[in-house]
Amino acid sequence: MNYRPDTKFIHGGTREEPYHGSLSTPIFQTSTFTFPDAEEGALRFSGEKDGYIYSRLSNPTVKVFEEKVAVAEGADMGLAFASGMAAISAVFTSLTSAGDHIICSNGIYGCTFGLLKLLKEKYQISHDFCDMRNEQQLRSMIQPNTKCLFIESPANPTMKLIDLAWTADIAHECGIKVVVDNTFSSPYLQQPLRLGCDIVVHSATKYLSGHGDVIGGVVAGSRSYIQELAQTAQKDYGGIMAPMDAWLLIRGMKTLPIRMDRHSSNAVNIVEKLKQHPRVEKVNYPTDKDHPDSSFAHKQMSQGGGVLSFQLKGDKGDAQQLMNQLKLVRIAVSLGDAETLIQHPATMTHSLIPAKDREAMGINDSLLRLSVGLEAWQDIWFDLLQALEGCAHKR
């Protein structure tokens, strides 16, 4: 049945379990699974027969979550990890060998930057940052040993966007895989695989969870790639998802469409108010008419999402002062929660990136990132307004 997206997020990937007709997916809180006889065990280990062996390899609760993500992203399969960074690490190491090369979009998450630095220092896997909106620059950076393009779109925290379909076409001309971190959009707002990209990663901690109570990551892609990833990087590195975490994510995904609609509509209202305030220099939001990449957003996203960033007229002290004036909005570095969260990228999520690199990415000391929550948008704005006015009086 070709269900609409809202229905797919509730029913996609679920299966009928023979446990007393439980509507909720059971939590298989077990490390290992027994075999009815020795021959069955041998068949499962050889791969000749399906069945569970050990929860580091596969677990029924985790499997349901993986299937739900695959349905949502339009992928053949999904594979769950203990965190978003475990997922990204597994993808990078699965696609590259020592001496290979990765091209990344400008403006990426600080820990992804740190991972790339580690890969370069320890394994000579080099990387370059590229404005992938510039065809000449992108083509000039492609080397014979380039194995993947890694894209954040929207980028964290600048909200820059990349034309995913166009970029995938260029990469595939050269036999290069395209990996997209789709965390900020969620599969409800954007499906990179349907635009021609090869692999999608998520920090499931964020919108897929939606409640700030679980850490997790997931990769989605073709059956051949995910099976290979499961048999190598996931199995041998061991960065697996726990059954309880998978259960929380299954629950979270059922309300993802409703939450993303509210996050997005709230964010649009906050963007309009911030743009009108004299203390605000600039607001970055994907679907805003003043965003230089808004045409990409309207082409590949159904809505703008719940994250925005804004630049104050001032410096780091002004940004920190504003944050300290807030009462409803909480200071925290995650996003996608029911609560509205604010953070200062230059001293928090992107602090390990050298200042000159941050500046090149568009992350300066007066930039703040706001994850707009599910509260009444008027209450969110009132809190931001009183903080903006309070800072203005103290200048």
Question: Which of 109, 188, 225, 285 is the catalytic position?
Answer: 109
* Strands 307-312 vs 280-284: parallel, antiparallel or unpaired: antiparallel
Yes or no: say if 336 and 209 are a contact pair by the CB < 8 Å rule: yes
Cα distance between the two ends of the chain:
61
Reply yes or no on whether 109 is catalytic. Answer: yes
- Residues facing 200 on adjacent strands: 180, 220
User: pTM of the entire structure?
Assistant: 0.95
Q: ω into residue 157 within 30 of 0, thus cis?
A: yes
* All structural domains of the chain: 5-254 (3.40.640.10), 256-394 (3.90.1150.10)
- The parts of the chain modelled with pLDDT lower than 50 are none
- Show the tokens assigned to 305: 């999402």
pLDDT at 199: 98
Question: Which of 206, 259, 273, 369 is the catalytic position?
Answer: 206
Reply yes or no on whether 206 is catalytic. Answer: yes
CA 335/CA 154 separation, integer angstroms: 14
Per-residue model confidence as pLDDT tens digits over 176-232: 999 999 999 999 999 999 999 999 999 999 999 999 999 999 999 999 999 999 999
pLDDT at 391: 75
Question: Which of 6, 56, 275, 282 is the catalytic position?
Answer: 56
Name the nearest CA neighbour of 337 among 274, 242, 260: 260
Reply yes or no on whether 56 is catalytic. Answer: yes
- Give SS3 for 118: helix
- Show the tokens assigned to 254: 């059922």
CA 309/CA 390 separation, integer angstroms: 20
Please provide the DSSP assignment of 142-208 as one string. Answer: --TTEEEEEEESSPTTT-----HHHHHHHHHHTT-EEEEE-TTTHHHH--GGGGT-SEEEEETTTTT
pLDDT at 395: 54
- Show the tokens assigned to 249: 């994510």
Which amino acid makes up residue 74?
Answer: G
CA 88/CA 126 separation, integer angstroms: 16
Question: Which of 8, 68, 177, 181 is the catalytic position?
Answer: 181
